[in-house]
Amino acid sequence: MTTENTNDNYILNVSNLTVEISNQPILDNLNFKIKRGITLAIVGPNGAGKTTLFRALLNLVPYTGKIEWNGKMKIGYVPQVLSVRDIPISVREFLSFKNESESDIKAVLASVGLDSEEVVDKGLATLSGGQTRRVLIAWAIVDKPDVLLFDEPTSGVDLDSEEAIYGMLRSLTAKNEITLLLISHDLHIVREYSDYALALNKCLVFFGESKEVMHPATQKLIYGEPICKEYGDIHA
Amino acid sequence: MLDTLIFSLVVAVAVGVSAGYLGSIMVLEKMALVGDALSHVALPGLALGILFGFNPLVGGFVFLFVSAVLIWHLGRVTKLSFETLVGATFTLALAIGILLFGDNLDALEEALFGDITQVGLTEAVAAVLISVAVISLTKLIHRKIVLGLISEELAISKGISIARTNLLYLLLVSLTVAIGIQITGTLLVGFLVVTPAAAAKIVSTNLSRYWTLSAIFGAISAVSGILLASYFNVVPGPLVVISGIIIFVVAIIIRRRLKITS
């Protein structure tokens, strides 16, 4: 279960985290710690357990081991897939599920680079992929979280918008001192926009500075046969 | 006679508004046929009420309520969809209901098609009170349900219990269907849950309009059905359905004319 830790250096301390679904290990004995305010990218091949790690951090799946947040954390979460196609819901209505203040909604839309007057009354299903991701980021930060978990921030977005969205995420998290954990498949993006990378392949196979992910040796660790490592004393 | 018509219209507004509003969620959940099928589950309860001399609507509600809880529980245990479970339950209920009615064909016809001549002050007051309760409770959960539809993970991460919300929702549907049976009978009451909301959805670009129009279309369908039935001296159920279908067709035309996209 999630418990609190008094050690101020770390915002999150994960130890011996294991998740099994139908007796199949999805995550096996993860150990890592991260510091406040960093951006940590979670990488790994398909089925490596990246989204499951987020689900465990959010207490959405049963697990064994320990997930210790440092104090009461407000955690924002943005899933990869939203089913809005068949729902007549406006951007204003969507954001008001979390925060009903009109001025906060306008401010948060402006902060993610959207023209509030133009989009606030539009149907969520009518927005472009890039606009939708921006609204999702607005959704995640509108109640001022301490930690943001973002699953594939730019899925369904063209390349030009992708860079813009990551740039915006970086400035938003720096300005608001948000610790960002993001899942990404794109190692170039990981190198450019995150401080540290954590690679999963059921177990932890790499944990280090993001600039290292482009090294062939690191890529072999990430995408090769899994060689599980203990990173309990190494931290980001 | 005039009293009966007035009481029937009161019940029609109450049922139309609550069925339309509840139905708007059902249409979003793609469970429209669940509302329709669930209504038939009331049949054995109605039969027991007639057989043992208590208010058949109470019997109908008890059967709906118990079935809703059973379906909800089986859904959690078996992971089967509501549609599958309702499909199995309603055919069983229909079979038991027909057996219980036996050769009392007048009562069976009344249960299947409704009978507004039985509607009095008590029924009208009960319908209004139940409708107000249903609408108030639905307002408490409608945003939770929509968030769960957009992303179950988002909803759970906000501390919403989807299972509990669904259970409350099924119970509210049971209550609404039970009072709606008076007007349209078990055979057609599902219509009031489905079609007004479907018509509202195709002309709505946001939730508040969608919810409001669903309720309004429900009320218009039910009231105009009763008035037409009174004028032509026929049972109201089929005319409620025809009124609702006219609204649905007009909504399609409006959507095309105004090029509404949602």
CATH number at residue A67: 3.40.50.300
CB spacing of A89 vs B146 below 8 angstroms: yes
Highest mean pLDDT among A224-228, B61-65, B183-187: B61-65
Q: Is residue A22 part of a domain?
A: yes
Q: Is residue A160 part of a domain?
A: no
Q: Judge whether residue A6 has pLDDT over 50.
A: no
Find out whether A68 and A34 touch, Cβ atoms under 8 Å: no
- Specify the CATH number for the domain of residue B168: 1.10.3470.10
Q: Is residue A229 part of a domain?
A: yes
Q: Is residue A23 part of a domain?
A: yes
Find out whether A33 and A13 touch, Cβ atoms under 8 Å: yes
Say what the pLDDT of residue B247 is. 97
Q: Is residue A68 part of a domain?
A: yes
**Each residue of B19-48: pLDDT tens digit?**
999 999 988 877 766 777 777 888 899 889
Say what the pLDDT of residue A232 is. 53
Q: Which of A105-109, A211-215, B81-85 has the lowest mean pLDDT?
A: B81-85
Mean pLDDT of B100-123: 81
Say what the pLDDT of residue A3 is. 44
Q: Give whole-number Cα distances, B14 to B41, B139, B228, in Å.
A: 21, 16, 18
Taking phi over 0 as left and psi of -120 to 50 as alpha, with beta for the rest, A144 belongs to left
Q: Judge whether residue A156 has pLDDT over 80.
A: no
Q: Which residues does residue A165 pair with via DSSP β-bridges, in sequence order?
A: none
Domains in chain B: how many in total?
Answer: 1
Say what the pLDDT of residue A7 is. 56
Nearest CA in chain B to A98: B158
Chain A interface includes B146 (CB < 8 A): yes
Chain B interface includes A192 (CB < 8 A): no
Say what the pLDDT of residue A234 is. 54
Find out whether B110 and B100 touch, Cβ atoms under 8 Å: no
Q: What are the DSSP calls for chain B, one per residue?
A: -HHHHHHHHHHHHHHHHHHHHHHHHHHHTT-HHHHHHHHHTTHHHHHHHHHHTS-HHHHHHHHHHHHHHHHHHHHHHH---HHHHHHHHHHHHHHHHHHHHTT-HHHHHHHHH--GGG--HHHHHHHHHHHHHHHHHHHHHHHHHHHHHH-HHHHHHTT--HHHHHHHHHHHHHHHHHHHHHHHHHHHHHHHHHHHHHHHHHT-SSHHHHHHHHHHHHHHHHHHHHHHHHHHTS-HHHHHHHHHHHHHHHHHHHHHHHT---
Q: Is residue A28 part of a domain?
A: yes
Q: Judge whether residue A228 has pLDDT over 90.
A: no
Chain B neighbors of A121, CB-CB under 8 A:
205-206
pTM of the complete model: 0.82
**Each residue of B49-84: pLDDT tens digit?**
888 888 888 888 898 888 888 888 888 888 888 778
Chain center to CA of B214: 12
Alpha-carbon gap, residue B77 to B73, rounded angstroms: 6
More confident residue, B245 or B188: B245
Mean pLDDT of B171-196: 85
By Cβ distance, the residue of A83, A121, A126 closest to B150 is A83
Mean pLDDT of B213-238: 93
**Closest approach of B61 to chain A, Cα-based (Å):** 30
Domains in chain A: how many in total?
Answer: 1
A to B CB pairs, distance under 8 Å: 64
Nearest CA in chain A to B146: A87
Alpha-carbon gap, residue A215 to A197, rounded angstroms: 13
Three-state helix/strand/coil letters over A1-21:
CEEECCCCCEEEEEEEEEEEE
**Each residue of A162-176: pLDDT tens digit?**
888 888 888 888 888
Say what the pLDDT of residue B262 is. 62
Chain A neighbors of B208, CB-CB under 8 A:
93
Work out the pLDDT band at A231, boundaries 50, 70, 90: low
Nearest CA in chain A to B200: A88
Structural domain of residue A17, as residue ranges?
Answer: 1-72+183-236
Say what the pLDDT of residue A8 is. 64
Q: Judge whether residue B252 has pLDDT over 60.
A: yes
**Each residue of A11-53: pLDDT tens digit?**
999 999 999 988 888 998 899 999 988 999 999 888 889 999 9
Structural domain of residue B108, as residue ranges?
Answer: 2-258
Alpha-carbon gap, residue B60 to B187, rounded angstroms: 13
CB spacing of A90 vs B28 below 8 angstroms: no
Q: Is residue A132 part of a domain?
A: no
Say what the pLDDT of residue A133 is. 84
